[in-house]
C-alpha cells in the first residue's frame, strides 16, 4: 500500500468533525502528563523522532509528554509494555517498521501488532539509501543487478545487524531483483556505514539522513532511494522502483499508537494535534531536509498499512531465513 500524499489535505477536515462531536469529558483530556514509550534506546532515529514530536505535542495538549525509552529485543520489550497499558490515552507508543517485522523475526510474541494496538497517526517515513563504495563498478540499480547476477555471492552488503530494517530491506531487494548478495551484520547503522566508507563492505542500505553527507562528499555513490517517491533532499537519486525494481519500497516509518480500546474521542484529539504538527511549516521543512516524507495519515489508513507491512515482511523473513530468538 502506498500512503496517499493527500492524507494531509483531508485529515484536517475529518479531525475537525470528530472534535466537534466529542463528549465533554474527552475534550478535557488530558489532565495529567502523557507517557510516550519508545521501544529503543536513546540516540537512535526512533528516539529522535519521539522527542521532536513529543515536545510539540506537549504544547498542543497542554500537558507534558514524557519520553520513556524501553529498549531491548528489537523493540519487543517496549511494545509489550505498551500493549498491556490501560487504554486511557495516558500511555502511547512510537511504533516503527520493526513492529511489523518482529512478528516473523521472533517465534513467540505476547502481543499482535494488528490486534493489540490502536493506530492513531502515521507521522512520517524515512527511506534508506542504496549506496556503494566508489570502487564497485556500478552507477545504477540496473548495473548493480547485472553485476550481482554475473558474480552471485561476491558482493556483500553491510547492515546494522540481523533483523534490522536495513537487513530486511536488502533481503527484499534480493528477492525482487533475483540476485544473491552476502549479508555482513554490524552493531548498528553507524559501523555499517563506516564499513562501506572503508571498502570493507561494498554496499549499504543505511538511513538516507546518515549517508547523504558521504554521498555528497563523493565518498559513497548513491544508486537509489527506497521510498515510493524521490525526496527533494536528493532530487537526482531515483527510487529503487523506477531504477529497475518495480514495486520496491522499504522505508522506516514512525507512528503514534495506543493500546487496543483507546476511545474514538481520545484518538481523534491526539490525531488532531499530531496532524497540526506534521503539517506545520517548520516540521515539514525539517523532515524534508532530512530526506524524510511527512505523512499524517489517520488511524484507519495507518492500520491498513500496518497489516500490509506485516504481510510483506513475513514473506521477506521467510525467504531470508532470519530469526532472532
Sign of the alpha-carbon dihedral angle for 125, 209, 281, 19:
positive
Banded pLDDT at 237 (limits 50, 70, 90): very high
Question: For 140-168, what is the mean pLDDT?
Answer: 94
The tens digit of pLDDT for each residue in 36-58 reads 999 988 877 899 899 999 999 99
DSSP assigned state of 185: E
Instruction: Kindly state the cell numbers that stand for 47.
Output: 528516539
- pLDDT, average across residues 249-269: 96
Give the strand pairing for 65-69 and 117-132.
unpaired
Q: Which three cell numbers stand for residue 268?
A: 481523534
**Domain 7-126+250-320 matches domain 127-243 at the CATH topology level:** yes
| pTM of this structure | 0.84
In angstroms, the CA 186 to CA 40 distance is 17
For position 3, what pLDDT does the model report? 52
CATH code that applies to domain 7-126+250-320: 3.40.190.150
User: Regarding the domain delimited by 127-243, which CATH topology (the fold level of the hierarchy) does it fall under?
Assistant: D-Maltodextrin-Binding Protein; domain 2 (3.40.190)
pLDDT of amino acid 17: 52
Confidence of residue 27 (pLDDT cuts 50, 70, 90): low
Mean pLDDT of the chain: 90
Reply yes or no on whether the pLDDT at 145 is more than 90: yes
Cα–Cα distance for residue pair 292/145, rounded to 1 Å: 26
For 111, 181, 221, the CA distances from 174, given in Å and listed in that order, are: 30, 7, 19
How buried is 8 (Cβ within 10 angstroms: 0-12 exposed, 13-18 middle, 19+ buried)?
A: middle
pLDDT at 42: 87
What is the domain partition of the chain in residue ranges? 7-126+250-320, 127-243
Does 15 have pLDDT greater than 80? no
pLDDT digits (tens, 9 = 90+) for 67-114: 999 998 889 999 999 999 999 999 999 999 999 999 999 988 999 999
> Residue 28 carries which DSSP code?
T
- Share of residues in the chain with pLDDT > 70 (%): 91
Element (H, E) at 117: strand 117-132
Each residue's pLDDT tens digit, 305-321: 999 999 999 999 988 88
Q: What 8-state DSSP symbol labels residue 31?
A: S
pLDDT at residue 23, as a whole number? 52
- Interval 105-139: pLDDT, tens: 998 899 999 999 999 999 999 999 999 999 999 99
pLDDT at 208 over 60: yes
Q: Which three cell numbers stand for residue 85?
A: 497499558
The grid cell for 78 is 517496549
Task: Give pLDDT, residue 9.
Answer: 44
Amino acid at each position: 500500500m502506498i500512503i496517499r500524499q493527500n492524507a494531509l489535505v483531508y485529515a484536517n477536515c475529518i479531525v475537525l468533525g470528530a472534535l466537534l462531536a466529542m463528549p465533554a469529558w474527552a475534550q478535557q483530556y488530558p489532565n495529567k502528563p502523557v507517557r510516550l514509550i519508545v521501544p529503543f534506546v536513546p540516540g537512535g532515529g526512533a528516539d529522535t523522532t519521539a522527542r521532536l514530536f513529543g515536545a510539540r505535542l506537549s504544547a498542543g495538549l497542554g500537558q507534558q509528554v514524557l519520553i520513556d525509552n524501553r529498549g531491548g529485543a528489537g523493540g519487543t520489550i517496549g511494545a509489550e509494555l505498551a500493549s498491556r497499558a490501560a487504554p486511557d490515552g495516558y500511555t502511547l507508543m512510537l511504533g516503527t517498521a520493526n513492529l511489523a517485522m518482529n512478528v516473523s523475526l521472533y517465534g513467540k510474541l505476547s502481543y499482535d501488532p494488528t490486534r493489540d494496538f490502536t493506530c492513531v497517526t502515521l507521522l512520517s517515513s524515512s527511506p534508506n539509501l542504496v549506496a556503494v563504495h566508489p570502487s564497485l563498478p556500478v552507477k545504477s540499480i540496473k548495473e548493480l543487478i547485472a553485476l550481482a547476477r554475473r558474480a552471485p555471492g561476491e558482493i556483500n552488503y553491510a547492515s546494522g545487524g540481523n533483523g534490522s530494517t536495513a537487513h530486511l530491506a536488502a533481503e527484499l531487494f534480493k528477492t525482487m531483483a533475483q540476485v544473491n548478495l552476502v549479508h555482513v551484520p554490524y552493531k548498528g547503522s553507524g559501523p555499517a556505514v563506516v564499513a562501506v566508507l572503508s571498502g570493507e563492505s561494498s554496499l549499504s542500505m543505511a538511513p538516507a539522513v546518515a549517508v547523504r553527507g558521504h554521498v555528497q562528499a563523493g565518498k559513497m555513490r548513491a544508486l537509489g532511494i527506497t521510498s515510493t517517491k524521490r525526496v527533494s533532499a536528493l532530487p537526482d537519486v531515483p527510487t529503487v522502483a523506477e531504477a529497475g525494481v518495480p514495486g520496491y519500497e522499504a522505508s522506516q516509518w514512525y507512528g503514534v499508537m495506543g493500546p487496543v480500546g483507546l476511545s474514538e474521542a481520545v484518538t481523534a484529539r491526539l490525531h488532531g494535534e499530531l496532524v497540526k504538527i506534521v503539517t506545520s511549516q517548520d516540521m515539514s521543512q525539517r523532515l524534508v531536509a532530512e530526506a524524510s516524507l511527512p505523512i499524517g495519515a489517520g488511524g484507519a489508513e495507518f492500520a491498513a498499512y500496518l497489516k500490509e507491512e506485516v504481510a510483506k515482511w513475513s514473506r521477506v523473513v521467510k525467504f531470508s531465513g532470519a530469526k532472532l530468538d
